[in-house]
Amino acid sequence: MRNRMRMVRLNNGVKMPVVGFGTYSDDNDGEITQLAVRQALKMGYRHFDTAKIYGSEPALGKALTEAIADGVIQRKDVFVTSKLWSSDHHDPVSALKQTLDELGLDYIDMYLVHWPVKLKPGVNNPVPEESDFDDLDMENTWYWMEQCLAMGLCRCIGVSNFSTSKLQQLLCFATVPPAVNQVEMHPMWRQRKLREFCRRHRIHVSAYSPLGGPGNYWGSTAVVGHPVVKSIALKHDATPAQVALARGMSRGVSVIVKSFNQRRMKENIGAIEVELDEYDMLEIQRMEEWKIMRGEFLTNQTTSPYRTIQDLWDDEI
């Protein structure tokens, strides 16, 4: 196994590994996912990210259960994140119990509200129809997220895809503040405003699509193919992906990166050892910004609480 995984301490004292292993893939092949997770464990990954909507909970669960049974890891040494899908806002406790069944675990480490969007019960389409939207009552959703925590079904609760103002509203009624906000972040979408707000309120920012999600149906090669990122990589004898990941981690952010290819999995975890200098940081700061995951599919003029992507992300897009 590689050297010990670096950890961040969350606002509730729980420690989370800074590199997370993403399990979203467009084709969601259970056997490939299960094998990749087993390989990832061998390489030293200790944080796994899934969601009900990915369909990857069973494969992740099988790989973890097998590794625990084989004595490769103990349950307490892995950090598992999953997410409340938008059609489960009416009953987060039952949704999390279902997630635990899928994973074959007694608890998960982190449970996130996937989007600030509520869909009607039973809608499991990642790209909802206009008639699928329901009225979001985030205070009620959060109350039940807090109950999940109180019942010991998870160790931490948090959110995902929340803008600064949506976090601000949540903090007005939260008894337990979110430990994490998982959002898109990479050298071309740097989240300066959100990171500053989260720093002040002790909410940890976790970066999804830290490479820009090349190969995903919504993703792009713009980040790993960017000449600035490539030239910094050359200078450090690193790869563009390692530069993107190292830049995220140097900003106090954790990174959730997905690869099911052994070479790239090793490359990505190796980013922990890549150190960028102030000059590299300035170069990246000067890069043009582009939000790749825009979430248009969650906006519409009639039934969504967000008519436009500006309503969804507030002034952050």
Ligand X SMILES: NC(=O)C1=CN([C@@H]2O[C@H](COP(=O)(O)OP(=O)(O)OC[C@H]3O[C@@H](n4cnc5c(N)ncnc54)[C@H](OP(=O)(O)O)[C@@H]3O)[C@@H](O)[C@H]2O)C=CC1
**Contacts with ligand X, residue ranges (CB under 6 A):** 22-24, 49, 114, 160-161, 182, 208-216, 219, 224, 239, 241, 256-261, 264, 267-268, 293
Instruction: Report the partner that residue 126 touches, choosing among ligand NHF, ligand X, none (CB closer than 5 to 8 A by kind).
Output: ligand NHF
Among 194, 260, 285, residue whose Cα is nearest residue 48:
260
Instruction: Report the partner that residue 48 touches, choosing among ligand X, ligand NHF, none (CB closer than 5 to 8 A by kind).
Output: none
Q: Are 283 and 61 in contact (CB under 8 A)?
A: no
Cβ proximity to ligand X: between 163 and 239 the closer is 239
> Residue 262 burial (CB < 10 Å; 0-12/13-18/19+)?
middle
Cβ proximity to ligand NHF: between 53 and 269 the closer is 53
- HEC profile of 115-140: CCCEECCCCCCCCCCHHHEECCCHHH
How far apart (Å, rounded) are the C-alpha atoms in residues 207 and 184? 5
Active site residue 54: yes
Cβ proximity to ligand X: between 53 and 148 the closer is 53
Q: Which two tokens stand for residue 80?
A: 């598992």
Please report, as ranges, the residues that interact with ligand NHF according to CB under 6 A: 24, 51, 53, 126
Cβ proximity to ligand NHF: between 126 and 177 the closer is 126
Phi and psi dihedrals of 216, rounded to 5? -70, 160
For 304: left if phi > 0, alpha if psi spans -120 to 50, otherwise beta; the answer is beta
3-state secondary structure of 272: helix
Q: Which two tokens stand for residue 174?
A: 């939260």
What pairs with residue 257 in β-bridges? 21
Q: Are 179 and 204 in contact (CB under 8 A)?
A: yes
Residue written as token pair 């309503």: 311
Is 204 flagged in the annotation as binding? no
Instruction: Report the partner that residue 304 touches, choosing among ligand NHF, ligand X, none (CB closer than 5 to 8 A by kind).
Output: none
Cβ proximity to ligand NHF: between 24 and 79 the closer is 24
Q: Which two tokens stand for residue 312?
A: 């969804």
Among the listed residues 54, 111, 208, 306, the single catalytic one is 54
What residues are designated binding site? 114
- Please give the positions annotated as active site: 54
What residues are designated binding site for substrate? 114
